[in-house]
Amino acid sequence: MSGVGRGRWVAWLVVVGVVLAALNLRAAVTSTGAVLHEISAGLEMPGALSGLLTTLPVVCFAVFGAGTPWLARRVGEQRLLVVALGLIAVGLLARAVVGSAWPFLALSVVALAGIALGNVLLPTLIKRHFPAKTGVMMTVYATSLAVGTMLGAALTLPIERAAGGSWRVGLGVWASMALIAAVPWIAVLRDNPKQDHEGAYAGPRTLVRSRLAWAIAGYFGTQGLLAYVLFGWLLQVLLDGGYTEDQAGLVLGVFTALSIPSSLVIPALTARMRNVRKLVALFCTLYAVGFAGLLTDHALWGSAIVVGIAMGGFPMALALLPLRTRTAEGTAALSGFAQSVGYLIAGVGPLMIGLLYDATGGWTWPFAVLFAVVAAQLATGWYAGADRVLEDEIHEEEIHEKEIHEKEIYEEEIQAHAVPDEIGEEPDKDRSQTKVATRGDLTSPRATTDQE
């Protein structure tokens, strides 16, 4: 096979690999929710452990996502993704056969750790393999995530019923999809294992000083928070608004399905626009309008649809990870940081809203919090939405810090030579002037000449 033909073959392998891997990153989570009642009953799981099971995803995404760039630097991105898919498969299959709650939770962590690695690695690999087509490939990635979310939720219960009511089969079957997803990545590695990158990444200390990194993390986190709250509580909002369970379920289904067209359009549009502040303002406005309608029980159907459209901000947040960096290394660092911080923010939402709802018996205060979250999203998204690049911001900050440091050293040396050696003795003007001459590069390039 010629070099051009081999390159195309590898590119198509990567495309297929991105699609299959992305399908696995949500199906394992939503499949658990579909049969949660059956799992709790079958394993005699207390309510507290059931609650912990639903909280585990965001915690694992935050914890294991933070360490992914460090692991990728040592193992290689493609090798680590194969390992991640293996962890998903092992965790999903093994937890389907255990007989008690704690081993089930432990093996869920194994699977979720693999998903967390994939969350960070796939945008990085897209940036590395398709630097000129990042928007298109992020559309493929985000759409596959949305489809995987729906597949896990929609198919697990029918599979469980087809297997004679066995929730173990309904959960374990998803392990096969993770194994299939590893095949194209193994083929890519076998084609040229030396291409698997093991390089330098920006460390967390560097990103902590980056305003752009914090802005993207904040935008990602507020989007995730609203998504988790809506998926968890929209049904109750509709029921309290007078809808029957069937009506509310239909609205929730349409609301969930809107994530697919958003994923098909928004990432490519984000890449084309570069400066996406108008999109940020649009999505935040839609959130505000939709929440107002849900709070006042006004046109609940329409309000839910408006909020569903507003959730197009989430695929945009994903697209910003590679679009706000110049290199795959930068994407890995930003993706690990933003997702780690973002999922910690997102995980607080459902619990906080639930506590407020229980304490007040209504939706006024919960929606007041959600309006505040939208305001924070607008602020962080406005900064992240400008056409700027992480590596440039870090470089400018390093230059600025270096200039400040050199100025402080220069001023300290001038002050030291201006202090009299003994009481009553005049400062050594000649020595002070000589020192100024030698430091001329910090003030003026002609300083030395002027002294002469």
Alpha-carbon distance of 435 to 415, in angstroms, equals 11
Say which amino acid occupies 283: F
Residue 329 and residue 201 in contact, taking contact as beta carbons nearer than 8 Å: yes
User: Residues 87, 107: contact at Cβ < 8 Å?
Assistant: no
pLDDT tens-place string over residues 400-417: 667 777 777 777 778 877
Determine contact, residues 91/31, Cβ cutoff 8 Å.
no
Q: Decide if 213 contacts 207 (C-beta within 8 A).
A: yes
Nearest to 309 by CA among 294, 296, 290, 295: 290
Q: Give this prediction's pTM.
A: 0.84
pLDDT surpassing 70 at residue 351: yes
Contacts of 95 (CB under 8 A, 6+ apart): 103, 104, 107, 108, 110, 111, 171
Show the tokens assigned to 372.
Answer: 């505040």
Q: How many CA atoms lie within 13 A of 21 on its CB side?
A: 33
345, pLDDT greater than 50: yes
Which residue shows structure tokens 């898919």? 85
Least confident among 110-119, 267-276, 435-444: 435-444
What is the CB neighbour count within 10 angstroms for residue 434?
A: 13
* Burial grade of 408 (CB within 10 A; 0-12, 13-18, 19 or more): exposed
Q: In three state form, how does the secondary structure of 261-293 look?
A: HHHHHHHHHHHHHCCCHHHHHHHHHHHHHHHHH
DSSP string, 376-429: HHHHHHHHHHSS--HHHHHHHHHHHHHHHHHHHHHHHHHHHHHS-SSTTPPP-H
Class of domain 204-419: mainly alpha
Residue 304 CB contacts under 8 Å (≥ 6 apart), including other chains: 234, 238, 251, 252, 254, 255, 290, 294
Mean pLDDT of the chain, nearest integer: 87
| 92-113 core/surface letters (b: 16 or more CB in 10 A; e: else) | bbbbbeeeebeebbebbbbbbb
Higher local confidence (pLDDT), 319 or 434 = 319
Q: Which of 30, 200, 56 is nearest to 116 (CA)?
A: 56
Rounded CA separation 175/181 (Å): 10
For range 331-341, the mean pLDDT:
94
Distances (CA, A) of 360 to 17, 271, 350, 357: 48, 43, 15, 5
| Banded model confidence at residue 432, pLDDT cuts 50, 70, 90 | very low
Q: How far is CA 451 from CA 99, 103, 309, 413, 447, in A?
A: 85, 77, 68, 18, 6
Tens digits of per-residue pLDDT, 247-306?
Answer: 888 888 888 889 899 999 999 999 999 899 999 999 999 999 999 999 988 788 999 999
Q: Which of 147-156, 265-274, 295-304, 432-441 has the lowest mean pLDDT?
A: 432-441
N-to-C CA span, the chain: 70
Q: What is the pLDDT of residue 267?
A: 95
Query: Percent of the chain, pLDDT > 90?
Result: 61
What share of residues in the chain are helix, strand, coil (percent, to 5)?
Answer: 85, 0, 15
410-418: list long-range contacts, CB under 8 Å, 24+ apart. 410/439, 410/442, 410/443, 413/439, 414/439
Using one digit for the tens of pLDDT, what is the confidence trace for 170-209?
999 999 999 999 999 999 988 766 556 555 555 566 788 8
Angle between helices 245-257 and 259-273 (to 10 degrees): 30
Do the domains spanning 1-199 and 204-419 agree at the CATH topology level? yes
Which CATH fold would you assign to the domain 1-199?
Growth Hormone; Chain: A; (1.20.1250)
Tokens of 236: 């109750």
The tokens describing 107, both together, are: 């093996």
Contact (Cβ atoms closer than 8 angstroms) between residue 374 and residue 361? no
Residue with tokens 């000083």: 209
Domains of the chain by residue range: 1-199, 204-419
